[in-house]
Amino acid sequence: MEPIIREAQPEDKPFIEEISRLTWEGNDYLAHVFDDWIKDGNFYVLELDGKVIGTVKLTLLLNRVGWMEGIRVHPYYRGRGFGRMLHNFIVQRGKALADEGKIDALEFSTYIQFKEPITMAEKDGFWIKARFFVASASVENFEPEEPMRIEPEMEDLTLGLIPIGWRFVKRNEDTLDWIKRNAEVYDHNGLRFIGSKGGTTFAPLDPGPAALKALLPAMAWVAKERGKEEFDLMLLSAIKPVLSGFKRTGIRIWGNAEEPNVLVFRKNLT
């Protein structure tokens, strides 16, 4: 049978859990967001011979952006063009939404070592909007300290492009309301950091190695509360000149990269 792409249904969850379990050594987030994505819509699966072997999601973000995420192919079916099929489908879906006047652009982020999505993006006219560093840290390396969850104000959102997990949103007045609904901001001794609700990828809202070093015990506390042994960080590309100082805080830059290792892509549709 020919593969088909259709809207995801609640009964697809066991298939998604299997794909998630076999992705990123079992650390994939897809199974955890499945129910929310079903409710949100624009969540699709690739089905072959009655089995779901892939997924893709288009999330409508602020500033009329369609955010492409959740592209997965079951490891047993990789290398057969299914990733390109899902990518093409969601780009066409984005164009349809642009024709309906709902979005103006498509965006997504990816780790720099994932060559396939980068190659597809470049061929399809996406351009690099921003670059970040992604790093990890182990909870056991810190004495966790409980931070205070706060209701953020505009002055707390110090970054022009704000990482919310692996999504990135532009700072403006609308962003503040969206962040209050979709993210969590913490204060620890006057310093702030942000992460997606229930997630363990954090971004410091105060720059510099000293601020990050002071925030790491609080980030470790949140991760430990969520049953995680590690947590990730999204750091501005501007840290490059002081990268060695960040490494001395106890974090591990993915791939030991000396250049930004997360790319944020954009394709204008109007």
CA 87 to chain centre: 17
Burial of residue 241 (number of CB atoms within 10 Å: 0-12, 13-18, 19+) = exposed
Return mean pLDDT, the chain.
94
| Residue 236 contacts residue 132 (beta carbons within 8 Å) | yes
Torsion sign, CA atoms 135, 138, 144, 148: positive
Alpha carbon distance 54, 159 (integer Å):
34
pTM: predicted TM-score of the whole model, two decimal places: 0.94
Q: Domains, the chain, ranges and CATH? A: 4-103 (3.40.630.30), 131-263 (3.40.630)
pLDDT, residue 39, reads 95
> pLDDT of 96-155, one tens digit each?
999 999 999 999 999 999 999 999 999 999 999 999 999 999 999 999 999 999 999 999
| pLDDT value of position 245 | 87
**CA 27 from centre of chain:** 13
d(CA 6, CA 130): 32
